[in-house]
Structure 1
Amino acid sequence: MSGPNVWSRSREKLRIFPELFAQCGGEAAAYGKCVAATTTGRQELTRDLCAKEFEALKTCFTNAAKKRVK
């Protein structure tokens, strides 16, 4: 069940998102370029097409979040 702290933790995570995103600008740009390049026109993004770039972005976010906790 959800408790009163669930929403507080969620809001805190959303509040720090821009800070984490700023630390991963290069990875975010690379992922965005990949998505944009592979979805020209009406083409849909398919699974694992930009997996390498997504993993780099995910790793950066994880590392940035770990640094913030310490």
Structure 2
Amino acid sequence: MSGSNVWTRSRARMRLFPELLAQCSAEAAAYGKCVSTTTIGKQELTKNMCAKEFEALKSCFESAAKKAVK
């Protein structure tokens, strides 16, 4: 496996990120809101605190990425 191919693929995926984020803006906003509301003051974000929102965002990214590859 050539090192340059790894970087080329990584760059190509990173270039898609803004487009994928735009397609998943509602899910990203919901996740961000969950994180910000659960970490008010000195409260720390703990594992699975926003799991439902994260899974929705992850699912949206995966779906959008599959469409972008076609």
Stretches of structure 1 lacking an aligned partner (at least 5 in a row): none
Report % sequence identity.
71
Residue 62 of structure 1 aligns to which amino acid in structure 2?
Answer: E
Residue 16 of structure 1 aligns to which amino acid in structure 2?
Answer: L
Deviating 4+ runs (over 4 angstroms): none
Residue 14 of structure 2 aligns to which amino acid in structure 1?
Answer: L
Closer/same/farther in 2, CA of residues 37 and 5 from structure 1, 3 Å limit: same
Which residue of structure 2 lines up, in the alignment, with residue 35 of structure 1?
35
TM, length-normalised to structure 2: 0.94
User: Distance between the aligned counterparts of 1:2 and 1:55, measured in 2?
Assistant: 33
Confirm or deny that 1:62 pairs with 2:62. Answer: yes
TM, length-normalised to structure 1: 0.94
Stretches of structure 2 lacking an aligned partner (at least 5 in a row): none
